[in-house]
Amino acid sequence: MFVDSHCHLEMEEYDGDREAVLGRARDAGVSYMLTVATEERYFSKALEIAEGHPSVYAALGIHPHNAGAYSDALEERIRGYLPHPKVVGYGEVGLDFYRNYAPRKAQMEAFRRQIPLARASGLPLIIHSRNTRAETLQVLKEAAIHPIIIHCYSYDLDTARKLLDLGAFLSIPGTVTYRKSGLAEVLRYVPTERLLSETDAPFLAPEPHRGRRNEPAYVCRVVEEIAAIKGSALEDISALLAGTFASLFLDRKERRSRGAAGKGPLP
């Protein structure tokens, strides 16, 4: 059983063959996929896909690339989507000082403003952080929010240690199969219990698909690589990763909705 903790199934890249992509994921043994809607125009499409497929769950939030669109009105609309039974995560939010598609000030504001939203919803916070290690650490330290998932982990071991101290989980993408990713050192240190596996599809396809469109079926390559670096059996690693995903996203949502319905206590 494999889990793709972060992909973008609602993106236009899959409009021509989405069902085939989902079929290949199923055939490859991918039991759960979390599709992450990064801007408002994707929200309802991501939810539709999740509603139509038991193995697909959704997260939504305003990506740093789209931070310029953040407003009070948008915030209200986001709030309306969060109670949906298949929305199990908040994000991705954060900072991207590599592409700089939105001004840094706007990125910082959208990031900071979405943290209370995530906190109030009780959903895990999914972080996108590229070339902005110090600023991300600073915001997360001040926020003191749990749980945090650092998606597409791309930093060094020292940063991983600091993030683990903040209680973060690190989600490992297909870049782990690239020769110069530097992720092996990080993976040898980080306990498997604090890891997740993802594709970030359609981006960042693992070897041997590098440079082409990525898809959730390829998460097997990521998990194989993690197992090889950890020196553990593939079945053991994939079971651990699936267990972590379920307790972070699925059980948590389930407990909260039971609590909200007055049928059981909140954790």
- Whole-Å CA distances, 24 to 29, 208, 218: 9, 17, 9
- Minimum Å gap between C-beta 95 and Zn ion is 11
Residue count, binding to Zn ion (CB under 5 A): 2
Q: Which CB sits closer to Zn ion, 128 or 256?
A: 128
Q: Which CB sits closer to Zn ion, 41 or 188?
A: 41
Amino acid, res. 129: S
Amino acid, res. 49: I
**Footprint of Zn ion on residues 24-83 (CB under 5 A)?**
none
- Minimum Å gap between C-beta 258 and Zn ion is 29
Q: Which CB sits closer to Zn ion, 53 or 61?
A: 61
- Minimum Å gap between C-beta 6 and Zn ion is 6
Going by C-beta distance under 8 Å and a sequence separation of 6 or more, which residues neighbour residue 32? 3, 4, 5, 55, 56, 57, 242, 245, 246, 250
Q: What angle do CA 256, 259, 261 make, to 5 degrees?
A: 110
Q: Which CB sits closer to Zn ion, 59 or 160?
A: 59
Site mask for Zn ion (CB under 5 A), range 196-215, x = bound: --------------------
- Minimum Å gap between C-beta 128 and Zn ion is 3
| Site of tokens 């125009």 | 41
Binding segment (CB under 5 A) for Zn ion, from list 88-96, 97-105, 140-148, 232-240: 88-96
Q: Which CB sits closer to Zn ion, 5 or 238?
A: 5
Q: Which two tokens stand for residue 259?
A: 């609590």
DSSP per-residue codes, 54-93: TTEEEEE---GGGGGG--HHHHHHHHHHTTSTTEEEEEEE
Q: Which CB sits closer to Zn ion, 10 or 92?
A: 92
- Minimum Å gap between C-beta 65 and Zn ion is 9
Using Cβ positions, the residue closest to Zn ion within the complex turns out to be 128
Q: In what order do the strands lie in the sheet with 56-60?
A: 2-7, 30-37, 56-60, 87-96, 125-130, 148-150, 169-172, 195-197
Binding segment (CB under 5 A) for Zn ion, from list 90-98, 101-109, 110-118, 224-232: 90-98
**Footprint of Zn ion on residues 107-136 (CB under 5 A)?**
128
Rounded-to-integer distance, Cα 46 and Cα 84, Å: 12
- Minimum Å gap between C-beta 216 and Zn ion is 13
Binding site for Zn ion (CB under 5 A): 92, 128
